[in-house]
Amino acid sequence: MSQTQRPVDTPARTAPPASAKQKKQKPPEEASRANWVVRVAIALVVISFMIPTMGLLVTSFRSREDVIASSWWSALFNPGTTSWTASGYGEVLSNGMGNAFINSLVVTVPATIIPILIAAMAAYAFTFIQFPGRDFAFVGIVALLVIPGQVAFIPLLQLFGNFGLVGNFAAVWLAHTGFGMPLAVYLLRTYMGTLPNAVIESAKIDGASHYQTFWKLILPMSFPALASFAIFQFLWVWNDLLIALIFLGAGPNEVVTLNLNSLLGTFASRWDLLAPGAFITMALPLTVFFALQRFFVRGMTAGSVKG
């Protein structure tokens, strides 16, 4: 009698487990909804920042009588009810803003270039040159970021007074150079740490000195970080009022911030002059920022991710 063969149960095929990336992937509708929320939030932030600027722009083209009589938004939505004029710009420029603009250039350009050059040399030494106490010195320079610059005003004022520098442009150059140096060294040192060491080794094999390596290789390769700090330093020096007031003062060498401050009357503010003066002051910083903005993010995020 033959035995019947029992069928062997085959294991059922199961679908492979979904990967973590597939599990976390959002449906297209949810992703599209999230993108719209982000866009609306960004648009609201941009509008909230643009409203004061729009108010200044509208006010800068109105006469003093119209500024006193009605608000800027009423003139914007009813342009026929106000008289538009550009006389405020001419009056501001004739009252010293033109000379103050040139003085601000004389102050800002050297106060931006000098700390960049010194900090770039220091960052090169901290990155590619081995010497005793290198890390300790770098930490000491970066630690100066937590010290407010206001604590150094009185000692610097006494020191510059002993050398006869108070009231001269050199005093403001030295002050801004010292205050901007810690951030510049930190940014440039972080960026130079991401540069390939093979370039430095090749330069050494070819017999290049540190001077040649710095000027011909490292400095051109560090341009994004240099431009990033240049934006910070330029805006900081150009918009500064306190340092310019202490070390330079009002008079023939006054800068645009001091000139704008002089437009604040004793009993009432001259909004018809403050608005065009503010736009004249904003023109150059905006130009510098938009010209160097493509290097801004690259310089700020340098060294955050390696690999």
Q: At what angle do helices 169-192 and 271-300 cross, to 10 degrees?
A: 30
Q: What is the pLDDT of residue 86?
A: 83
Domain positions in the chain:
34-80, 96-300
pTM attached to this predicted model:
0.76
Give Cα 239 to chain centroid, integer Å. Answer: 12
- Cβ neighbour number for residue 196 with a 10 Å cutoff: 9
Burial of 147 (0-12, 13-18, 19+ CB in 10 A): exposed
Q: What is the pLDDT of residue 304?
A: 47
Q: What is the pLDDT of residue 107?
A: 94
The phi, psi pair for 70, rounded to 5°, reads -145, 165
Which distant-in-sequence residues (6+ apart) come within 8 Å of 207 by Cβ?
A: none
The C-alpha atoms of residue 168 and residue 166 are separated, in whole angstroms, by 6
| DSSP letters for the chain | -PPPPPPPPPPPP-PPPPPHHHHHPPPHHHHHHHHHHHHHHHHHHHHHHHHHHHHHHHHHTB-HHHHHHS-HHHHHH-GGGS-B--HHHHHHIIIIIHHHHHHHHHHHHHHHHHHHHHHHHHHHHHHH---TTHHHHHHHHHHGGGS-GGGGHHHHHHHHHHTT-TTSHHHHHHHHHHHHHHHHHHHHHHHHTTS-HHHHHHHHHTT--HHHHIIIIIHHHTHHHHHHHHHHHHHHHHT--HHHHHHT-SSTT--HHHHHHHTB-SSSB-HHHHHHHHHHHHHHHHHHHHHHHHHHHHHHSTTSS--
Q: Which two tokens stand for residue 132?
A: 């005793």
Task: Give every residue of the chain whose pLDDT is below 70, as ranges.
Answer: 1-34, 265-269, 295-307
Q: What is the pLDDT of residue 293?
A: 72
Query: What would the pLDDT profile of 133-181 be if each residue is shown by its tens digit?
Result: 888 999 998 888 888 888 889 899 999 989 888 889 999 999 999 999 9
- Cβ neighbour number for residue 4 with a 10 Å cutoff: 6
Q: What is the pLDDT of residue 2?
A: 46
Of 101, 107, 56, 108, nearest to 235 (Cα)?
Answer: 108
CA-to-CA separations, 218 to 125, 177, 182, 305, in angstroms, rounded: 11, 22, 20, 20
The C-alpha atoms of residue 134 and residue 106 are separated, in whole angstroms, by 35
The C-alpha atoms of residue 255 and residue 264 are separated, in whole angstroms, by 15
Q: What is the pLDDT of residue 198?
A: 84
Is 96-300 a domain of CATH 1.10.3720.10? yes
Query: What would the pLDDT profile of 21-59 be if each residue is shown by its tens digit?
Result: 444 555 666 666 668 888 888 889 988 888 888 888 888
Q: Which amino acid is at 270?
A: R
Beta bridge partners of 178: none
Q: Which two tokens stand for residue 53?
A: 């600027």
The C-alpha atoms of residue 206 and residue 126 are separated, in whole angstroms, by 22
